[in-house]
Each structure stands twice: as C-alpha cells, then as structure tokens.
Amino acid sequence: MLKAQGLAKSYGSEQILHQVELEVKRGESFGILGPNGSGKSTLVKILIGEESPDSGKVWLEGKEIASYDSKERARKIAVLAQETMEEIDFTVGQVVEMGRYPYLKKWTGMTRQDQEIIEQVMELTGVSIYRDRRFSDLSGGEKQRVAIAKALAQEPELLFLDEPTTYLDIHYQLLILDLIHRYRQEHQLTIVMVLHDLNLAAQYCDQLLLLSKGKVKAAGNPQQIIQPSLIDEVFHVKPIVLSHPKWQVPQLLLSAKRDSCSSGECS
C-alpha cells in the first residue's frame, strides 16, 4: 500500500530524518513510535506528500506520491488533523461534509450518495446529535470524533492519525481507537498512526516502527519492539514489560524513581 525508501530531510543545517525506509501492507495498522523530536511528524508529512524529502521516495500503491494531484491523493489518503480545524467557525455537519470535497464535481453539489455517506459516518462516530452545533464549542473528545467522521467521509484507503489520543481521557482513547479498529476491519482500511502511548500501540498496531534521532532504530511486531532494552536505549527509561492477560501483547509498567525522590533528588 505504502512504501518509502531512503528518506532524508533537513531543516536548515539540522538533519531531521536519515535514510528512513518502511513498508505498510494493505489492511495493516502501522504504528510510528519515538521520543519527542525524533522526526515522527516530519516523516508523516513526507509520507502524505505534504513535504518533499531531500532524497528518497514514497510510493502509494506503486505510484510515486509526488505524482498524485491533490484531489486524487485525497480520495486515497485521509489525515486526522484536529488542530488545523480548531480555528474554523463551521457547524459539525459542515465540517463532516468537507470530507466529501475530493469527490465533488464542478458545478454540482452533494449527491444523494454523498449525503448517505455523511450520515453513515456521523452515526458511526456518534456525532449526529451535534450536527448543528458549532465545531469550536465542542469538547476535545467530541471534536476528535468529528475529525474522524470527516476523515472517514473521505472514504480513504489509507488513514493517517498523528497522535489521535492526545488530550483524551482513557474512555475516549479506547473509544476512538476501537472505533477506528472496527472500521478498519469492515472496510479493509490501512492505518498509519503516531502514538506516544506504547501500551495502546502494542494493542492496536500490527507493525511498529521505532524512530530515534531521525533514524529507524527498529521495526517489527509489538513483541519485537516493546522490549525493555530497546525502550531503555531509545527513551532512557527502564520499564517492566508484562504480557497483557487478555490480548497477550507486551505492556509496559513504568517505575517511578522513588529511591532518588526519598533521598531528596526530586525536589
């Protein structure tokens, strides 16, 4: 579905990405992990064709991403970008309708089919009841569900989520990831997501790519990536790794440095 080879990117004199390569198979849930500033968002911007790499290439279904025109690309790829919608003064219904723009023809408005898809995704994400409310008045969790509805209205084959659970409480984190997971299974959707929560990444992703200082430190399934030594090397924390009793995927327990706190080092 998506392939990248030899990606490099610098901003000014600072090289942000070094020889990054990855391959995402159709229908897969692919997680990008790494510390703050390791280049995750920069990589996503290059993968979706929003930024150009200094060297290397990205292929979407075998065709170079740079050769897609923007409307054609928007029919294949949706990006969950709540922050960019923060300032807009539209109703929830209007925000979700924007997801259909890549399909609208000149001079014609929404078709019955467009309307049906909008209704379906609003029902699925539970945002129909907010239809006439201003997007800017919603809570963070509600906004996130509207952003997902808009992305799904695009009927993408590939959905990019850059930290979809930021600012959400644990109820909404699970609700949103479950919703996307269910939709993925029903629609053969491919997902690429940046996640800071390694435990959620292990539960919701089939494959993980661990970035460190702009380089691919490791790539593989959650068992291969969520390893104490690797996590310590990249994040500089010494976690305890257990197997999730229900899903048998690795889960991290973080240990507070209470010894150093009691000896006064924390204050």
Ligand X SMILES: Nc1ncnc2c1ncn2[C@@H]1O[C@H](COP(=O)(O)OP(=O)(O)OP(=O)(O)O)[C@@H](O)[C@H]1O
Q: How many CB atoms lie within 10 A of CB 131?
A: 15
Q: Interface mask (CB under 6 A) for ligand X, residues 151-190, using x and -?
A: ----------------------------------------
Q: Tell me the DSSP string of 90-141.
A: -BHHHHHHHTTGGGPPTT----HHHHHHHHHHHHHHT-GGGTTSBGGGS-HH
80 binds ligand X (CB under 6 A): no
Task: Give yes or no for a contact between 190 and 207, defined as CB atoms under 8 angstroms apart.
Answer: no
Identify the residue among 5, 10, 15, 41 touching ligand X (CB under 6 A). Answer: 41
- Name the one range near ligand X by CB under 6 A: 33-41, 79-87, 105-113, 134-142: 33-41
DSSP code for 66: G
Alpha-carbon separation of residue 23 from 19, 77, 153 (angstroms):
14, 16, 26
99 binds ligand X (CB under 6 A): no
Nearer to ligand X by C-beta: 42 or 125? 42
- Name the one range near ligand X by CB under 6 A: 32-40, 80-88, 123-131, 145-153: 32-40
| Nearest distance, CB of residue 266 and ligand X, angstroms | 24
Q: What are the beta bridge partners of residue 22?
A: 4
Vertex 90: Cα angle to 88 and 93 (nearest 5): 135
Helix (H) or strand (E) holding 24: strand 14-24
Identify the residue among 2, 20, 33, 40 touching ligand X (CB under 6 A). Answer: 40
Round to whole Å and give the CA distance between 249 and 242. Answer: 8
38 binds ligand X (CB under 6 A): yes
| Nearest distance, CB of residue 174 and ligand X, angstroms | 21
- Name the one range near ligand X by CB under 6 A: 36-44, 166-174, 202-210, 251-259: 36-44
Nearer to ligand X by C-beta: 36 or 263? 36
Pairing of strands 190-194, 29-33: parallel
Identify the residue among 37, 72, 111, 185 touching ligand X (CB under 6 A). Answer: 37
34 binds ligand X (CB under 6 A): yes
Residues lying near ligand X in the complex (CB under 6 A) are found at 11, 16, 34, 36-42
